[in-house]
A and B are shown apart, each in its own frame.
Chain A
Amino acid sequence: MSPFKISWKSIWSKPLSSGLNIMLIAFGTGILTILLLASTQIEEKLNNNSKDIDLVVGAKGSPLQLILSSIYYIDFPTGNIPLKDANELSHNPFVKRATPLALGDNYNGVRIVGTDSNFISLYGLKLQSGKFWKADLEATIGTNVAKEQNLKVGDTFFGAHGLTENKDLHKDHAYKVAGILAPQGNVTDNLILTNIASVWKMHGEEDGENNREITSLLIQYRSPMSVVMFPRMVNQGTNLQSASPAMESTRLFSLIGVGVDTLQWFAILIMLIAAISVFVNLYNSLKERSYDLAIMRTLGASRTKLFVIVILEGLILTIAGTIVGVALGHLALELIAHYQESSQAKLTGLIFITSEVYLLLAGLAIGIFASIIPAMQAYRSNISKILAKN
């Protein structure tokens, strides 16, 4: 009979205390798993969505709000900017490519983005079926939009005014799905793309170039020199505002990071309490089982074997807790994602990241930490004394 089986059966003979210890460890590991998965995915999404955009130009207001609305599509824009000013900036020598965005409408909460063909090159978009938008009221939709809204090429739909609600429908003009994008792994999976003229048409702004407005411009620099010169030129020389996605994303992540750090410490504290609980459990059970262990010695078990049996008990408890915790963490994140309102930053619990191996190693370390003292006591026990006492 292997030491593993002896330890395993000993654990199962105390289902309540073993179960509580496993749950305590699972709780701590579960929180750490959620934090690890969520922060990795958020960071990845932030980087994926902004990697080729050097600067966003929009109406004055909060720079973070401008970035959130124009790159991640999760906040309201700061306002509109005159098309004329935007065109001037687009032709600035510091600018390699300027992609205009016109926001303002949605379809069942999915944002409709008026833009031009620069958007296709900026995100390297590829088609799954159909074609890219060209004529007015043609739309190319992201892969998730097609799935979730059950839309296919040739279907028509009405946009609604605003970015979240579906109340004020533009019933005079229906969009027609011209194409569906192949999965891109970024925010474009969750957008409806059309030309800017369509957005203007919805809002009765067909005429008069001087009055036309767009929401923002996504800028790619021509040279490193632009990094220094262009934002200053926009902020000081015009009525517009420039915001750097890299800087604002870092600021955003550091803001989120405070909460993540607090939760991380909280989870580590739970893990520590779990380790102490496993230690107390093993230590107390060792007192109760000292006669058991002495009997095992009289049956021929070596000191090393008793040491291994006690260490294995600690390891089985903590590793089981860690595995349950990691599984619960994935399940919880998938459930959170299921009820998540924002379709633009959807998280998933169905991915595994290499850092999770560290959680398993942490479980292993806690198991050894919690059982080493009881195991040493089992190793050193004086069986003659224990047997004589009983």
Chain B
Amino acid sequence: MISIKSVVHNYKNTKPISFKDWQINNGEQWLLLGESGSGKTTLLHILTGILKPEQGEVSINDTSIYSLSSKNLDQFRGRNIGIIFQRPHLIKSLTIAENLLLAQSFAKLPANHQRIDEVLNSLDIIHKKDSYPSTLSQGQLQRVSIARAVINKPALLIADEPTSSLDDKNAKAVLELLMQQSGLNQATLIVATHDKRVKDAFTHIYDLA
């Protein structure tokens, strides 16, 4: 179970943002809906352990993440949280397989080439395994960024505005991929967006309005 309780964050010279308590059962798929500037990204950063809130508690599967030491929190994030960004940003100097190996390595997990093949196969990009990111199309890069997020079988898969810059067809395809991969990996999915086109795909919605 993932929960946030009494979370408030305060950026310098701005009004504090407080977030409603939120409880998510394992394996659920949620939409985090909110307009630009409503605090979506702030909440995602708080959930992923990269922005410590001024107040409140965040726990993932009974681990209160901000009670962990900095080093343990980094490792916890690497093993338990997969993040997909709006732009599929990969490390340009590494091949696709090496980008995935990097995620295993930073999470201090042994290199698992079989798992890499399995994930790339499921996303239909195994043929690009030894290519560099600069040779891939945007759609292929998006798939690789999903592969990187799920490679360590995380408990929580978070996507930040994954469809905002895509047309209807591609937005639907990416959303389907995310849902398929979270299902395959038994991960909880949170998709943060202001894109109302995807609203109908979710039964659980956390609205920041």
**Count class of interface residues, chain B:** 20 to 34
**A94 interface residue per 8 A CB criterion:** no
Of the listed stretches A59-67, A77-85, A213-221, A300-308, name the one at the interface; the rest are far from the partner chain: A300-308
Interface contact B50-A291, CB-CB below 8 Å:
no
Interface contact B85-A300, CB-CB below 8 Å:
no
User: CA separation between A169 and B148, bound complex, in Å?
Assistant: 84
In-complex Cβ contact of A390 among B87, B98, B111 (8 A): B87
Interface contact A300-B107, CB-CB below 8 Å:
yes
**Chain A residues with CB below 8 A from B107, complex form:** 299-300
Contacts A291-B89, A384-B45: A299 and B148 contacting too (C-beta < 8 A)?
yes
**B122 interface residue per 8 A CB criterion:** no
User: CA separation between A2 and B105, bound complex, in Å?
Assistant: 8
Measured CB to CB, the nearest residue on chain B to A10 is: B93
**Central interface residue in A10, A302, A383, A388, by most chain B CB within 10 Å:** A302
User: CA separation between A296 and B107, bound complex, in Å?
Assistant: 10
In-complex Cβ contact of A299 among B78, B87, B93, B98 (8 A): B78
Measured CB to CB, the nearest residue on chain B to A298 is: B83
User: CA separation between A364 and B108, bound complex, in Å?
Assistant: 29
**A297 interface residue per 8 A CB criterion:** yes
Chain B contacts with A in 20-45, Cβ cutoff 8 A: 41, 45
User: CA separation between A10 and B70, bound complex, in Å?
Assistant: 26
Give the Cβ gap from B207 to chain A, nearest Cβ, in Å: 21
**Central interface residue in A2, A291, A299, A390, by most chain B CB within 10 Å:** A299
Interface contact B91-A384, CB-CB below 8 Å:
no
Interface contact A387-B94, CB-CB below 8 Å:
no
Interface contact A297-B74, CB-CB below 8 Å:
yes
Interface contact A302-B71, CB-CB below 8 Å:
yes
**A265 interface residue per 8 A CB criterion:** no
Chain A contacts with B in 96-112, Cβ cutoff 8 A: none
**Chain A residues with CB below 8 A from B74, complex form:** 297, 300-303
**B92 interface residue per 8 A CB criterion:** yes
Give the Cβ gap from B157 to chain A, nearest Cβ, in Å: 13
**Count class of interface residues, chain A:** 20 to 34
Contacts A291-B89, A390-B87: A298 and B50 contacting too (C-beta < 8 A)?
yes
**B191 interface residue per 8 A CB criterion:** no
Interface contact B50-A299, CB-CB below 8 Å:
no
The A contact surface, by secondary structure, is helix
In-complex Cβ contact of B105 among A1, A12, A13, A388 (8 A): A1
Measured CB to CB, the nearest residue on chain B to A13 is: B93
Measured CB to CB, the nearest residue on chain A to B75 is: A300
Contacts A1-B98, A9-B98, A303-B70: A387 and B50 contacting too (C-beta < 8 A)?
yes
**Chain B residues with CB below 8 A from A297, complex form:** 50, 74
In-complex Cβ contact of A388 among B45, B92, B111, B148 (8 A): B45
**Chain A residues with CB below 8 A from B102, complex form:** 1, 6, 296, 299
**Chain B residues with CB below 8 A from A9, complex form:** 93-94, 98
User: CA separation between A68 and B56, bound complex, in Å?
Assistant: 87
**A233 interface residue per 8 A CB criterion:** no
1/0 per residue, CB under 8 A from B, across A1-18: the answer is 110001001101100000
Give the Cβ gap from A193 to chain B, nearest Cβ, in Å: 65
User: CA separation between A9 and B107, bound complex, in Å?
Assistant: 20
Interface contact B41-A301, CB-CB below 8 Å:
no
**Central interface residue in B85, B92, B93, B111, by most chain A CB within 10 Å:** B93
**B48 interface residue per 8 A CB criterion:** yes
**Chain B residues with CB below 8 A from A298, complex form:** 48, 50, 77, 83
User: CA separation between A3 and B158, bound complex, in Å?
Assistant: 26
Give the Cβ gap from A286 to chain B, nearest Cβ, in Å: 14
**Chain B residues with CB below 8 A from A304, complex form:** 71
**Chain B residues with CB below 8 A from A1, complex form:** 98, 101-102, 105, 111
Measured CB to CB, the nearest residue on chain A to B51 is: A384
**Central interface residue in A12, A292, A301, A383, by most chain B CB within 10 Å:** A301
Measured CB to CB, the nearest residue on chain A to B109 is: A300
Interface contact B83-A12, CB-CB below 8 Å:
no
**A295 interface residue per 8 A CB criterion:** yes
User: CA separation between A2 and B108, bound complex, in Å?
Assistant: 11
Interface contact A299-B103, CB-CB below 8 Å:
yes
User: CA separation between A258 and B51, bound complex, in Å?
Assistant: 60
**B206 interface residue per 8 A CB criterion:** no
**Central interface residue in A12, A298, A301, A390, by most chain B CB within 10 Å:** A298
Residues of B within 8 A of A (CB): 41, 45, 48, 50-51, 70-71, 74-75, 77-79, 83, 85, 87, 89, 91-94, 98, 101-103, 105-108, 111, 148
**Which 9 pairs across A and B sit closest by C-beta, in order of nearness?**
A300-B78, A13-B93, A300-B106, A384-B51, A1-B105, A300-B107, A9-B93, A301-B106, A299-B106
Query: A9-B93, A301-B74, A388-B45 given. 10 additional CB < 8 A pairs?
Result: A1-B105, A13-B93, A292-B89, A298-B48, A300-B74, A304-B71, A384-B50, A384-B51, A387-B41, A390-B89
Residues of A within 8 A of B (CB): 1-2, 6, 9-10, 12-13, 291-292, 295-305, 383-384, 387-388, 390
| CB-defined A-B contacts under 8 Å, sample of 27 | A1-B98, A1-B105, A6-B102, A9-B94, A9-B98, A296-B91, A296-B102, A296-B106, A297-B50, A297-B74, A298-B48, A298-B50, A298-B77, A298-B83, A299-B107, A299-B148, A300-B75, A301-B74, A301-B106, A302-B74, A302-B75, A303-B70, A303-B74, A383-B50, A387-B41, A388-B45, A390-B85
